[in-house]
Amino acid sequence: MKNIKTTLTAFALTMTSLGVSAATSNIDIEAGKPGAKIPDTMYGLFFEDINFAGDGGLYAEMLINRSFEFPQTLYGWKTFGKTEIRNDGPFERNPHYVRLNPAGHRVKYSGLDNTGFFSVAVNGGEEYRFSTWARTPDGKPAKIRVELVDPAADEESVAIASKTIDITSKEWTKHTAILRPSRDIKEGGVLRIFLVKPDETPVDLEHVSLFPVNTWRGHENGLRRDLAQALADIKPGVFRFPGGCIVEGTEFGDRYQWKNTVGPVENRPLNLNRWQFEFPHRFYPDYYQSNGLGFYEYFLLSEEIGATPLPVLNVGIVCQYENPGESALVPMDSLQQYIDDAVDLVEFANGATDTKWGALRAEMGHPEPFGLKYLAIGNEQWGPGYPERLAPFVKALREKHPEIKIVGSSGPYPDGDDFDYLWKEMRKLDVDLVDEHYYRNEDWFANGATRYDKYPRKGPKVFAGEYACHGKNHKKFNHYNASLMEAAFMTGLERNADVVEMATYAPLFAHEKGWQWRPDLIWYDNLDSHLTSSYFVQQLYSVNKGTNVLKTTLDGQPAAGLEGQNGIYASTVWDSDKNEYIVKVANISGEPQTLNLNFKKLPKKVKLTTLTTTLMSAPSDKMARYYDYQDLKTTEQAIGDNGKYTVEIPAESFAVYKFK
Ligand code: AHR
C-alpha cells in the first residue's frame, strides 16, 4: 500500500504544484463502429484445490479421511473402545475400513469420532445426510448410533442430533440417515459413531460420509451451495480446473490423474495434495485430495454455472520448482500414457455413449456430451523439455480431435527469457492459446494496461490463466487497492478482446483456517463465505462484458493510466443483445475527476435514455484487510441524447457506466 499511496500522493502534489485542475478527462468512444467481438469465454474462473478449496471447501463432504486411506490410517478419527483397521474392504482402490468390536462390557462402547475439516460445523435445523457402507461380519444383527456432538455444549446433552441404524447384512451395504441438529455448532463439533448396547457383535464401516442435504443443485456427491452460487453469480465464461501446480505433482505418482477422479466415489483413490507442505510455515499434514470432487463434477459444475470447461492436464513434467533439471521430465518413450489421458479425456467429455469413456460419463449420469472445446496441456513449465513433450500431444489431438483448441503455457512469469522462448515455441507448435501467469504488485498492474496493445494479432491467442495483484505492503491480504489495480489493468484485457480470449483470476478459494496462498477471490469458514472486492471486480467485468469492443481513447491514446492521463483507465463495449453501451473506468488517483464521455458517431437512430452507474469506491478504512466488500452502489438517471455526458468519478474508484 505504501508504494501506491506514495505514488498517488506524489501525483496529487505534482498536479497541485503544476496547477493542473484535478482533473477533467475527455474520453472519446467510437460508438458507431463496433470492433472486436468479446469472446464468450471472458471472464472466467480458475479452480485449484489449494487453501482447502476442494476437500474442506467447495466439495461439501464434511468428514476428513472418510475412507481410512490417509497414510496414517486414522488421521482425523479418534477411536474409543475396541476398534481395528482392516484392509480387505469392498473398494479395491480404497481397501481400508474400520471394525467396531464389542467393548467387552454391557455399559461400555466402541466407536469413533471424526473431527471434520477444522471441526464439524452445522447449522441448527438444517438437514445433513450421513452415509456409510457397513456389514455385520458374523451375520448377527447389530445397531450403530450416529451423532452430531458438540463437546463444548453446556446443555444437557452433547449430542445435538442422533440416529440409530440397523446393520443386518453380512454383505457390504450402503446405509444413510438424515441428521437434523437442534442447534448450531460453529466450532469443535464431531461426528460420532458407536455400537449400540448390547454390542455383542462387531460392525464394519467403510466410506463414512456426511454432507449437507442442501448442496448446490441438490447433488448428493455435491458442492457447497453458497460457494457454487458465488461462482454462478460471476456468470463466468470459462472454468479452468483442476490446477495449477496440482496438475504437476511433487512426484510423478502424485500428479493429478483425471482417470482416478471418475466413477463411483467410494473407489476413487486418495491423492496427496502438494499444497500440504508447499509452504512450511503453512504446513497442513492432513491436506489430501479425496477425488470426490473429480472431473465429472468439474464438467457438471461448468455446465451448471454456464462456463466453458477448460481442463488442464500434465504434459509429462512434474513440478519444475521441486524437481530440478531433467529429473522433472518423463522420458519421451514413456509419454504415451499421458497423451492417451488427453485423448481419452475428450472422449469422456464429448464421446458417444457407446465409447469406453463416453459410456462412463453416461453411467455417472450425463449421457449428453459436456461440450469440451479447450484443453490445456501443461501448467507452469519452462525450458526445451516442454515444447518437446507438448509436440506429440498436439499431433495426437490434431489428428484425433481437431475440434479441440489447445492451450500451451508460457511458464510461471509474464516476461523474461523463458517467457519469450516459450511464446516462440508455442507459435511454432501452432497452439491455439498461450497461458500467461502474473502475480505482480500494484505498480505492475498499474503500468500493465497496455500490455496486449502490442501483441501480434495473428497466431495463438492469450489466456491470462492466473493473475492477481499482490499488494506489496499488506502481506498479500485481500485489499481494496489491489482490486482497483486489477480493475484498471483489466481495461487492457477488454480493449484487446481480439487477442485475449480468456482471463481467470487466481486463486479462487481460501478456507480461513487452512489457507496457503493469498490473496484469493472468495474466503470462507465451514459455514459462511465472504466475497472480496476482487470478486466484485471480476463480476463487474463479467456481467457487463458486452458483445463488441468500442475504441476508447483519452486525448487520442488508449486510456491506460499513461503519462498525463491522471490515473484514468477506460474501456468500452457495446452490448448488441441489451442495446447498451458500457463504459468501465478506473480512477487510481487520489483525486476525484470529471469525465467527459463523448460518444462519437453515435448512430442517428440511437437515443441514449438511461445512465446506470455502478460504483466501487475505496472504503474509509483503507488499510483494513477485509472481504465482504459491500461498498458497491448502483444509481440510475434519465439522460438526454446528445452523445456527450459528464460524470464525476471519485478518487480511487472503479465505475461501470451503462448507457441504454
Ligand atoms: O494459483 C496458485 C499457484 O500459482 C498455481 O498452482 C500455480 O500454477 C501458480 O504458481
Q: Is residue 74 over pLDDT 60?
A: yes
Q: Kindly report, residue by residue over 250-284, the tens digit of the pLDDT.
A: 999 999 999 999 999 999 999 999 999 999 999 99
pLDDT score, position 477: 87
Q: Is residue 603 over pLDDT 60?
A: yes
pLDDT score, position 625: 66
pLDDT score, position 133: 98
Q: What is the pLDDT confidence band of residue 619, given thresholds at 50, 70 and 90?
A: confident
Q: Kindly report, residue by residue over 391-421, the tens digit of the pLDDT.
A: 999 999 999 999 999 999 999 999 999 999 9
Q: Is residue 15 over pLDDT 50?
A: no
Q: Is 380 a catalytic site residue?
A: yes
Distance CA 451, CA 481 (A): 20
Mean pLDDT of 42-47: 98
**Sign of dihedral through CA atoms 487, 492, 436, 296?**
positive
pLDDT score, position 411: 97
pLDDT score, position 626: 65
Q: What is the pLDDT confidence band of residue 641, given thresholds at 50, 70 and 90?
A: confident
Q: Is residue 549 over pLDDT 60?
A: yes
pLDDT score, position 22: 61
Q: Atom 8, ligand 1: which residue's CA is nearest?
A: 244
Q: Atom 7, ligand 1: which residue's CA is nearest?
A: 244
Q: How many CB atoms lie within 10 A of CB 61?
A: 23
Cα(532) to centroid(ligand 1), Å: 19
Q: Kindly report, residue by residue over 490-531, the tens digit of the pLDDT.
A: 999 999 999 999 999 999 999 999 999 999 999 999 999 999
pLDDT score, position 314: 98
Q: Is residue 622 over pLDDT 80?
A: no
Q: Is residue 388 over pLDDT 70?
A: yes
DSSP-based three-state secondary structure for 576: coil
Q: Of all atoms in ligand 1, which is nearest to the CA of residue 507?
A: 1
Mean pLDDT of 452-480: 92
CA distances from 20 to 23, 139, 592 (A): 7, 89, 13
Mean pLDDT of 222-242: 98
Q: How many CB atoms lie within 10 A of CB 109?
A: 18
Distance CA 501, CA 491 (A): 14
Cβ within 8 Å of residue 327, ≥6 positions away: none
pLDDT score, position 405: 98
DSSP-based three-state secondary structure for 159: strand
Q: Which three cell numbers stand for residue 162?
A: 442422533
Residue in 46, 50, 255, 409 to alter for ligand 1 test, most ligand atoms within 8 A of Cβ = 50
pLDDT score, position 606: 83
Q: Is residue 17 over pLDDT 60?
A: no
pLDDT score, position 471: 85
DSSP-based three-state secondary structure for 153: coil
Q: Is residue 10 over pLDDT 70?
A: no
**Sign of dihedral through CA atoms 355, 360, 361, 363?**
positive
Ligand 1 site residues, Cβ closer than 6 angstroms: 48, 50, 243-245, 379-380, 412, 437, 466, 506-507, 517
**From 380, 580, 591, 652, the catalytic residue:** 380
Which stretch of DSSP H or E encloses residue 484?
Answer: helix 480-495
Q: Atom 2, ligand 1: which residue's CA is nearest?
A: 507
pLDDT score, position 386: 98
Mean pLDDT of 58-69: 98
Q: Atom 6, ligand 1: which residue's CA is nearest?
A: 244
Range name among 235-239, 246-250, 478-482 with the lowest pLDDT average: 478-482
pLDDT score, position 199: 77
Q: Bigger pLDDT: 447 or 18?
A: 447
Contact 6, 475 (CB under 8 A): no
Of the candidates 395, 422, 297, the residue with the CA atom closest to the CA atom of residue 348 = 297
Distance CA 589, CA 277 (A): 40
Q: Is residue 1 over pLDDT 90?
A: no
pLDDT score, position 623: 66
Cα(503) to centroid(ligand 1), Å: 14
Mean pLDDT of 645-652: 96
Residue in 245, 410, 438, 504 to alter for ligand 1 test, most ligand atoms within 8 A of Cβ = 245
Q: Is residue 79 over pLDDT 50?
A: yes
Q: What is the pLDDT confidence band of residue 605, given thresholds at 50, 70 and 90?
A: confident
DSSP-based three-state secondary structure for 139: coil
Cα(507) to centroid(ligand 1), Å: 7
High-pLDDT (> 70) share of the chain, %: 95
Q: Atom 5, ligand 1: which residue's CA is nearest?
A: 244
Q: What is the pLDDT confidence band of residue 633, given thresholds at 50, 70 and 90?
A: very high
Q: Of all atoms in ligand 1, which is nearest to the CA of residue 243?
A: 6
Q: Kindly report, residue by residue over 315-349, the tens digit of the pLDDT.
A: 999 999 999 999 999 999 999 999 999 999 999 99
Q: Is residue 8 over pLDDT 60?
A: no
Q: Of all atoms in ligand 1, which is nearest to the CA of residue 245?
A: 6
Q: Atom 3, ligand 1: which residue's CA is nearest?
A: 244
DSSP-based three-state secondary structure for 116: coil
Residue type, 443: D
Distance CA 142, CA 151 (A): 26
Mean pLDDT of 349-357: 98
Q: Which three cell numbers stand for residue 353?
A: 455413449
Q: Is residue 116 over pLDDT 90?
A: yes
Cβ within 8 Å of residue 377, ≥6 positions away: 312, 313, 315, 342, 390, 393, 394, 406, 407, 408
Mean pLDDT of 561-590: 97
Range name among 291-305, 524-538, 598-612 with the lowest pLDDT average: 598-612
Cβ within 8 Å of residue 10, ≥6 positions away: none
CA distances from 10 to 45, 500, 569, 617 (A): 36, 33, 19, 21
Q: Of all atoms in ligand 1, which is nearest to the CA of residue 46?
A: 1
Distance CA 455, CA 43 (A): 19
Strand (E) positions, 136-184? Answer: 142-149, 159-167, 173-179
Looking at every residue in the chain, the average pLDDT score rounds to 94
